[in-house]
């Protein structure tokens, strides 16, 4: 029952915003709904897998429980940030009804993606997250944000269209089989068990290309830096930490369904997309001087690492999941911090920001710790995730990929560090006086940092078990 509440409650309550008296309290409504959903989602993590519901279209398995427990609390944290922003900048109150309505639809669709037991239902829900998020990117008086928002919708529509075409090709390839096609996650026919044919290969290639577009993987990544840069920071955090994981869950489901008997299916394609994504993002990291774009390119880099991890499968799966979970928190912390920094310095140019640790102590610490995690320093989960993926690369004998991976990760490390570290520890060029940041305003980011450190130092048994279960399903056993 609580599963249906996760999906339906945000959507129903967004309709309540039609009532004028509710609109006055739109921000509080958003925080309350996100809080309740977050508690329900986390409580789902400790339950067993649920039976099928709604004709089998809904079912909560380990993948759902793991990602619900991560994504919904992050959404709640972002809502707390929004609440604080509106409280400190009352001018933002004007657009809150629209924001809250779309954010609640977004939350509803996100949860639908995570609990969907049918690939096409997951596809519809993922498309709905896009339709809800696209207008959120728009800042009313910024023409560039409107263009970025349109490009986001354009790429997403084409990418998800290709993914739909991929599903159809797979269905076509299994048509002679009377038991097929089935897009139910727990009832899909593994492709290797059926006679592999051209339709299957074409379908999987289109699915990879389409879902890769949503993940920001090369070759269809160019929407990402623009959208992440132009969107308001809270929306960027939602796109990077929440929607990214939804698209990834759909990809995990596809791999879970179709390569259970053939772990090497599309492995080479995933590794190639990952390496190319890391390559283009590394050179962009070297060139950019815009803080949000830098974080956006780092996101493409991470998507590349994740694609490589998925390509290797097997032993990399646990590390991959650790990396994915850590990344969700890293992106939430860093994009929200970038918003705070931009709001104070009124620039995103990294050369004009320095001495953050003295100037804005909270933001300085968040940027510092977040950057360490971003760059894969110990003791964060991203470090252990990367190490496990690298060791899986070595054990699988892909030494060329290993060498390229190490080279690109080192280059991106240097490029990111030389831009961000002077911002944190450099001498402040101008003296600014800021209103004091309260603990309450910083609390969501502190919670994300705590989660990051916990994932690195001590993975709670419940989370560890969930990660292992999901890893097994990704491995295709």
Partner 1 sequence: MNPLLIALLAVLLGPLFVGTWRTSLWGLSMQGLLMAWLALRLGPHPSTPSAWLTLIDLALLRGVAAPTALYQVLRARNVPARHDAIPPNLLSWTLALGSVLVAFNFAQVLVPAPAMEQSIVSVAATGLMLGFLVLATQSATFGQMIAVLRIENAIALFELSGEGHAQSVAIQVGQMLVVAASIVLYRWYLNTVDDPDAPLGDDASEVAL
Class of residue 141 by CB neighbours under 10 A (exposed 0-12, middle 13-18, buried 19+): exposed
| Among candidate residues 65, 186, 187, 40, the one with its CA nearest the CA of residue 115 | 65
3-state secondary structure 262-303: CCCCCHHHHHHHHHHHHHHHHHHHHHCCEHHHHHHHHHHHHH
Q: CA separation (Å) from 394 to 67, 264, 400, 406?
A: 29, 16, 10, 12
Contacts with partner 1 in 343-362 (CB under 8 A)? 343, 346-347
What's the closest the beta carbon of residue 222 comes to partner 1, in angstroms? 13
Residue 253 · residue 64 · CB < 8 Å: no
What's the closest the beta carbon of residue 134 comes to partner 1, in angstroms? 6
What's the closest the beta carbon of residue 289 comes to partner 1, in angstroms? 15
Contacts with partner 1 in 91-110 (CB under 8 A)? 91-92, 99
Contacts with partner 1 in 173-192 (CB under 8 A)? 175, 181
Give the range of 38-46, 82-90, 429-437, 450-458 binding partner 1 by CB under 8 A.
82-90
Which of 31, 62, 82, 291 binds partner 1 (CB under 8 A)? It is 82
What's the closest the beta carbon of residue 124 comes to partner 1, in angstroms? 4
Residue 387 · residue 367 · CB < 8 Å: no
Number of residues that bind partner 1 (CB under 8 A): 52
Determine, following the binding rule CB under 8 A, whether residue 234 of this chain makes contact with partner 1.
yes
Give 58's strand partners. Answer: 53, 116
Which of 135, 187, 190, 196 binds partner 1 (CB under 8 A)? It is 135
Residue 41 · residue 72 · CB < 8 Å: yes
Closest CB to partner 1 among 5 and 165? 165
DSSP 217: -
What's the closest the beta carbon of residue 2 comes to partner 1, in angstroms? 21
Give the range of 9-17, 137-145, 244-252, 262-270 binding partner 1 by CB under 8 A.
137-145
Give the range of 42-50, 171-179, 270-278, 370-378 binding partner 1 by CB under 8 A.
171-179
Residue 314 · residue 392 · CB < 8 Å: yes
Which of 86, 114, 328, 463 binds partner 1 (CB under 8 A)? It is 86
Closest CB to partner 1 among 46 and 154? 154
Binding mask 302-341 for partner 1 (x = CB under 8 A): -------------------------------------x--
Determine, following the binding rule CB under 8 A, whether residue 138 of this chain makes contact with partner 1.
yes
Which of 120, 193, 276, 411 binds partner 1 (CB under 8 A)? It is 120
3-state secondary structure 98-139: HHHHHHHHHHHHHHHHHHECEHHHHHHHHHHHHHHHHHHHCC
Closest CB to partner 1 among 116 and 365? 116
Which of 22, 168, 205, 276 binds partner 1 (CB under 8 A)? It is 168
Which of 52, 146, 314, 344 binds partner 1 (CB under 8 A)? It is 146
Residue with tokens 């489901």: 253
Q: Mention every residue, 6+ apart, whose C-beta is less than 8 A from residue 104.
A: 10, 11, 13, 14, 30, 33
Give the range of 156-164, 251-259, 301-309, 457-465 binding partner 1 by CB under 8 A.
156-164
Closest CB to partner 1 among 171 and 472? 171
CA distance 221 to 28: 35
Residue with tokens 């954010």: 103
Q: How many Å is the Cα radius of gyration of the chain?
A: 21
Closest CB to partner 1 among 158 and 357? 158
Residue 475 three-state SS: helix
Determine, following the binding rule CB under 8 A, whether residue 128 of this chain makes contact with partner 1.
yes
Sign of the CA dihedral running 208, 213, 218, 220: positive
3-state secondary structure 27-54: HHHHHHHHHHHHHHHHHHHCCCCCCCEC
DSSP 242: I
Residue 52 · residue 58 · CB < 8 Å: yes
Determine, following the binding rule CB under 8 A, whether residue 11 of this chain makes contact with partner 1.
no
Determine, following the binding rule CB under 8 A, whether residue 232 of this chain makes contact with partner 1.
yes
Give the range of 10-18, 133-141, 255-263, 303-311 binding partner 1 by CB under 8 A.
133-141
Determine, following the binding rule CB under 8 A, whether residue 233 of this chain makes contact with partner 1.
yes
Closest CB to partner 1 among 140 and 397? 140
Determine, following the binding rule CB under 8 A, whether residue 198 of this chain makes contact with partner 1.
yes
Binding site for partner 1 (CB under 8 A): 55, 57, 82, 85-86, 89, 91-92, 99, 118, 120-121, 124, 127-128, 131, 134-135, 138-144, 146-147, 149-150, 153-154, 157-158, 161, 164-165, 168, 171-172, 175, 181, 198-199, 202, 232-235, 339, 343, 346-347
């Amino acid at each position: 029952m609580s599963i249906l509440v996760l999906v339906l409650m945000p959507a129903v309550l967004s309709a309540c915003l039609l009532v004028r008296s509710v609109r006055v309290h739109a921000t509080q409504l958003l925080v309350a709904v996100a809080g309740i959903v977050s508690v329900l989602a986390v409580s789902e993590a400790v339950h067993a897998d649920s039976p099928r519901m709604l004709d089998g279209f809904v079912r909560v398995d380990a993948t759902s429980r793991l990602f619900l427990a991560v994504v919904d609390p992050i959404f709640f944290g972002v809502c707390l940030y929004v609440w604080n922003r509106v409280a400190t900048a009352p001018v933002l109150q004007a657009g809150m009804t629209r924001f809250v309505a779309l954010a609640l639809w977004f939350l509803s669709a996100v949860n639908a993606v995570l609990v969907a037991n049918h690939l096409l239902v997951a596809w519809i829900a993922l498309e709905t997250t896009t339709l809800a998020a696209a207008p959120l990117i728009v800042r009313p008086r910024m023409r560039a944000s409107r263009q970025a928002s349109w490009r986001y919708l354009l790429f997403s529509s084409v990418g998800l269209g290709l993914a739909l075409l991929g599903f159809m090709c797979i269905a076509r390839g299994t048509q002679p089989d009377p038991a097929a096609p089935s897009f139910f996650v727990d009832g899909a026919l593994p492709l290797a068990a059926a006679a592999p044919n051209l339709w299957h290969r074409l379908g999987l290639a289109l699915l990879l290309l389409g879902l890769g577009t949503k993940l920001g993987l090369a070759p269809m990544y160019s929407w990402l830096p623009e959208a992440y840069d132009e969107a308001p920071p809270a929306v960027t955090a939602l796109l990077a930490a929440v929607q990214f994981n939804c698209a990834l869950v759909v990809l995990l489901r596809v791999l879970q369904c179709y390569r259970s008997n053939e772990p090497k299916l599309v492995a080479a394609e995933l590794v190639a997309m990952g390496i190319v994504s890391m390559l283009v993002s590394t050179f962009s990291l070297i060139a950019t001087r815009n803080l949000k774009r830098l974080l956006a390119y780092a996101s493409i880099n991470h998507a590349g690492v994740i694609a490589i991890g998925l390509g290797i499968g097997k032993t990399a799966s646990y590390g991959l999941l650790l990396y994915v979970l850590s990344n969700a928190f890293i992106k939430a912390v860093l994009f929200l911090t970038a918003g705070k920094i931009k709001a104070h310095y009124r620039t995103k140019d990294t050369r004009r920001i320095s001495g953050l640790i003295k100037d804005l102590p909270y933001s300085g610490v968040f940027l510092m710790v977040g950057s360490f995690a971003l760059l894969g320093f110990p003791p964060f989960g991203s470090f252990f995730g990367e190490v496990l993926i690298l060791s899986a690369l070595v054990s699988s004998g892909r030494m060329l990929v290993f060498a390229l991976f190490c080279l690109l990760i080192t280059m991106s490390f240097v490029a990111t560090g030389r831009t961000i570290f002077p911002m944190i520890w450099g001498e402040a060029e101008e003296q600014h006086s800021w209103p004091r940041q309260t603990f309450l305003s910083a609390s969501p980011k502190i919670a994300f940092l705590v989660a990051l450190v916990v994932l690195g130092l001590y993975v709670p048994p419940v989370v560890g078990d969930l990660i292992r279960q999901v890893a097994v399903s990704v491995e295709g056993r």
